[in-house]
């Protein structure tokens, strides 16, 4: 059930999706592989829309040359883990969304455990892992 604050926050998209549609978004679980350029943009919009649970996984740290395209990360984040930086910002964008950051390398031996019971998988990685993708 949507709280009053959630109804107000999502008022404009509820006009399109209806209360039931917004409830479905609130109950959705999205796994995002990568917190770089693609993962940044995707995660911002999913959090703003009210996706209930977002797990973002990336093992890399932020470098200066990431900042021109990885919009979740800022100058003061250089040297931090991308997943942790993403979690911090996404929680500020929408405190109603449960964000889980994992600083792990996605590999064939852990991918099924990381994916858990998510409804949607977003591949925002900048590489191809044989056997996974």
Can you give the CATH number for the domain in which 23 is found? 3.40.50.720
What is the CA angle 61-78-60, rounded to 5? 5
49, 89, 56: which is closest to 73 by C-alpha? 89
The reply to whether 2 falls in a domain is no
Predicted confidence at residue 98, as pLDDT, reads 98
The reply to whether 51 falls in a domain is yes
Q: How many distinct helices (H) and strands (E) make up the chain?
A: 5, 4
- Give the confidence band of 129 by pLDDT, cuts at 50, 70, 90: low
DSSP 107-119: -TTTHHHHHTT-S
The reply to whether 25 falls in a domain is yes
The reply to whether 131 falls in a domain is no
The reply to whether 88 falls in a domain is yes
Q: Is 0.85 topped by the overall pTM?
A: yes
Q: Read off the tokens for 92.
A: 């500020």
The reply to whether 106 falls in a domain is yes
The reply to whether 83 falls in a domain is yes
Question: How far apart (Å, rounded) are the C-alpha atoms in residues 25 and 123?
Answer: 19
Residue with tokens 């994916």: 115
Query: Phi and psi of 37, rounded to 5°?
Result: -60, -55
Report whether pLDDT(131) > 90.
no
* 66-115 tens-digit pLDDT: 999 999 999 999 999 999 999 999 999 999 999 999 999 999 999 999 99
End-to-end alpha carbon distance in the chain: 35
User: Considering Cα of 57, then 58, then 61, then 64, what sign does the dihedral take?
Assistant: negative
* Residues spanned by the domain of 72: 19-110+118-123
The reply to whether 10 falls in a domain is no
- Structurally, how many domains does the chain consist of? 1
């Amino acid at each position: 059930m949507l709280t009053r604050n959630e109804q107000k926050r999502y008022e404009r998209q509820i006009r399109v999706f209806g209360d039931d549609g917004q409830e479905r978004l609130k109950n959705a679980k999205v796994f995002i592989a990568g917190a770089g350029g693609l993962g940044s943009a995707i995660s911002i919009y999913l959090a703003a829309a009210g996706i209930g649970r977002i797990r973002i996984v990336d093992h890399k740290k932020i470098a200066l040359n990431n900042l021109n395209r990885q919009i979740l990360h800022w100058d003061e984040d250089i040297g931090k883990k991308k997943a942790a930086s993403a979690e911090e910002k996404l929680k500020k964008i929408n405190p109603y969304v449960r964000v889980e950051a994992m600083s792990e390398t996605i590999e064939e031996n852990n991918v099924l455990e990381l994916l858990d019971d998510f409804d949607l998988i977003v591949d925002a990685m900048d590489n191809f892992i044989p056997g996974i993708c």
